[in-house]
Amino acid sequence: ERLSAEQGRILDVTSLITRVEVRGGAGSGKTWLAVEQARRLARQGKRVALICYSRGLSQWMQRRVATFDHREQPAYVGTFHGIGQEWGAPEGSDDDSNFWEVELPEIMLDLAGKQATGDLYDAIVIDEAQDFADLWWPVVMEALKYEDDGLYVFSDEGQRVFSRFGGPPADLVTLVLDQNLRNTKQISSTFSSMAPNKMRISQHDGPEVRFVPCDWEQAIEHADDVVEQLLEEGWQPSDLALVATGPRHPEQKARQGDGWQAYWDSFWDKDQVFYGHVMGFKGLERPAVVLALNEQPDRERAMERLYVGLSRARDLLVVCGDPEHIEAVGGPAVLKKIKGNP
C-alpha cells in the first residue's frame, strides 16, 4: 500500500502536468499508480474516468475504488466499451470481434458528441493502454469535456498481446518506471531480459522457480498435477492461479459458460483456484501461478504472452512447457533462469 520513492516522484510530476504517459515493465506498479492517480484527481473535485480494456482488471479496479472515501471515487470505473453502454450503445455478442473492435467505437464516437458537457470527463486515466486500438483513441478524446483536459496513460509495450496498434492522438510527457515491485528476485529475473526497458530486479527473496518440461500438448495436464501438488503442500486455493497461453483450460470454459460476471467473481472466491488465460490476466496477480505453455509453436505474439505469463506470480512460479519453445520465444537467458541456472 505504500508508495515507492519512484512512484512518489511520478505522482509529484503528474500533479503539475495534465498529459502524461507512464511506461513501465511488468510488476512496476502501473495499475496501482493509475488507480492512485484517479483517486487524487477525484479528490480535487474532478469528474474522472478510470478505464482499461480487460473485464478482469476493471473488476479489480472497481473493488479497489469501492474502498475509497466517496469524495475520492472516480465517476466511472470500468472498461472502455462500458462507457459506450452507459451512453446507450447496444450490447454486442462476445463472439463478434468486429463489433467490439470497429462498430462499437464508431457508435461511441457519435454518441460522445451528443453527451452534455457535464456528463463528460475532466480527466481520463487509462491502464494497460497498449491494448487500445487506433479507432478507440478519438472516442477517449471526445469523452473529455475540453480538448486540453487531463489524459493519464499507463502502458507497457512488452504486454501488447493483442494484434492492435494505436496510440493517443495527443502529445504526452513520457515518464518511466524501472523498478520491479511485485515479484521475488527469482521470478523477476526470468522475464527481465524480455522487458522493453531495463528493469531493476526485485531484491525480495523467495522460492526457486519450478520447471516441468513437457510438450505443449501435455502442458495443461502437467499444470493440473502441479496445482494438486501445491494444494497438498498447504497453499490455499485462493493463492493459486493456473494460467494458459494457448487454448483455455476446460475449467475456465465451464465457468465462463455461466457468464462473464460469474467467471470473474470466481477470481475473488477464497475456496477456488482461479483458471485464466494470459490475455485476460494482464494487470492481475496471485501469490502462486502455474503457467501452462500450451500454445502451438510459431504463433504470433508468443513472446508477449510468455512475458505476461512469467510476471503474474508474486512468490512462486511454476512453468510447464517445452524448453525449446521457451528458448525460441524468450531467448537462452529466459530458459536458463526458468531452469534455475544462475
User: 192 and 105 in one domain?
Assistant: no
Look up cell 477456488; give the residue. 272
Q: Residue 224's pLDDT is what?
A: 98
- Is 284 in contact with 166 (CB distance < 8 Å)? no
pLDDT tens, residue order, the chain (342 aa): 555 667 777 888 888 899 999 988 888 888 999 999 999 999 999 999 999 999 999 999 999 999 999 999 999 999 999 999 999 999 888 778 899 989 999 999 999 999 999 999 999 999 999 889 889 999 999 999 998 999 999 987 666 655 556 777 778 988 888 888 889 999 999 998 888 777 777 778 999 999 999 999 999 999 999 999 999 999 999 999 999 999 999 999 999 999 988 999 999 999 999 999 999 998 899 999 999 999 988 788 899 899 999 999 999 999 999 999 999 999 999 999 999 865
Out of 128, 158, 177, a domain closes at 177
Half-sphere exposure for 152 (CA within 13 Å, toward CB) = 29
Specify the CATH number for the domain of residue 40.
3.40.50.300
Residues 234 and 135: their CA atoms lie apart, in Å, by 47
Out of 119, 153, 177, a domain closes at 177
Is the pTM above the cut of 0.75? yes
- Is 17 in contact with 172 (CB distance < 8 Å)? no
Expressed as residue numbers, the domain containing 19 is: 5-177
User: 125 and 219 in one domain?
Assistant: no
Residues 249 and 246: their CA atoms lie apart, in Å, by 9
Report the domain count for the chain. Answer: 2
- 3-class DSSP state for residue 317? strand
User: 202 and 166 in one domain?
Assistant: no
